[in-house]
Chain A
């Protein structure tokens, strides 16, 4: 089945319009419910359901826009490079924040999921939810989890962090843009970085680095750490 160009263009246009409206609202109100990814995706899902369409009708548009995440991730090198003078001084907070944050969130999600009686087969995919979706897919596969489920959890985590992260950090009296960027990137990868970039270039650069650091760190500890936690929790 070949999707026709017109309907793909219509779906892309729908996505860009929903984004433009959500972004305007977010810049004005900064409320979690108008967070661009959350509101934009909700509007599109609503339109698809009302029109009696399934996700299959949207898939081609997802592939077109999703392709841009490649060059966009490469572009993250620019804020990192511009902040290079500050990065040298931030090496210690970055390493400490990323390592503690990534290790604690893996333990927390597994403990909470076991307490909430989530099915055991889902746990490996849940454990890697804080890293960026393309890495979560690979790590879940290595842990015997379901790759597409891991990508789903990564996206939900990213959306939650972008929606509530900035307010939670303010609540915890984390006001320093360096620390806010580290937290958003470690907890919510690319979407957290998008939220950090809206705050400041410093926060955005730190978040890009924390996202990369969390992915590398999680990949490094996962083979020993995740099976150990699962053994402790399920015995």
Chain B
């Protein structure tokens, strides 16, 4: 009796796990197209109005507005968005590979350009970080104890 239960036990969590993964895949397949539709809606809106913003940013603002209005609920997009954002870096790698095409320029004035870009990034991080932290403490938005 006990033996048969023990023998049957391992297959049960396994198949339950597979079923859970399948259900998640179905939900992702339903959620992802909504993000795609909003991206193209944002792009169309930019074309129609000529506003100086890229379509993907307008698509993000559209989704934010729809969530606030309650037209789209968090469970309609949350899992697909979470998965994509967890791997956000993956989608920047091909852009960085594109630097290959600028090898010539980066070779001749690479040092000056690199120093300018690195130095100004450091200035921005320090200024925005320190100013943000002071203002956050003043506004009581800080997490820090």
On A, residues with C-beta under 8 Å from B are: 15-16, 18-19, 23, 36-38, 40-41, 44-45, 48, 54-55, 58, 61-62, 65-66, 68-82, 84, 86, 89-94, 96-98, 100-102, 104-106, 108-109, 112-113, 116-119, 122, 126, 129-130, 132-135, 138, 149, 151-153, 155-162, 164-165, 168-169, 172, 174-180, 182-184, 186-188, 190-191, 193-194, 197, 202, 204, 208, 210, 212, 215-216, 219
Contact = CB atoms under 8 A, between A and B. Distances in A.
B128 A19 contact: no
B91 A155 contact: no
Q: Which label, helix, strand, loop or mixed, suits the secondary structure of the B interface?
A: helix
- The size bracket of the interface on B is 35 or more
30 contacts: A55-B97, A62-B98, A65-B93, A68-B84, A68-B91, A70-B43, A72-B84, A72-B88, A74-B42, A75-B35, A77-B63, A79-B85, A90-B136, A90-B139, A93-B141, A96-B132, A98-B128, A101-B125, A104-B127, A105-B127, A116-B115, A118-B116, A129-B117, A138-B52, A155-B92, A155-B98, A176-B132, A178-B141, A178-B143, A212-B61
Nearest to A129: B117
Most central of B32, B68, B143 by chain A CB within 10 Å: B143
Contact of B102 (A152, A172, A187): A152
A175 B142 CA distance: 10
Contacts of A180: 129
A207 B103 CA distance: 31
Nearest to A97: B132
Contact of A152 (B56, B98, B127): B98
B112 to A, nearest CB: 3
B124 A183 contact: yes
Interface of B: 32, 35-36, 38-40, 42-43, 52-57, 59-64, 67-68, 74, 77-78, 80-82, 84-102, 105, 109, 111-144
A37 B96 contact: yes
A174 to B, nearest CB: 4
Given A176-B142, A204-B85, 16 more contacts: A40-B96, A62-B98, A68-B84, A89-B139, A93-B135, A96-B135, A105-B127, A109-B120, A130-B124, A134-B57, A149-B102, A175-B144, A176-B137, A178-B142, A180-B129, A183-B126
A182 B132 contact: yes
A70 B36 contact: yes
Given A158-B92, A159-B96, A119 B136 contact: no
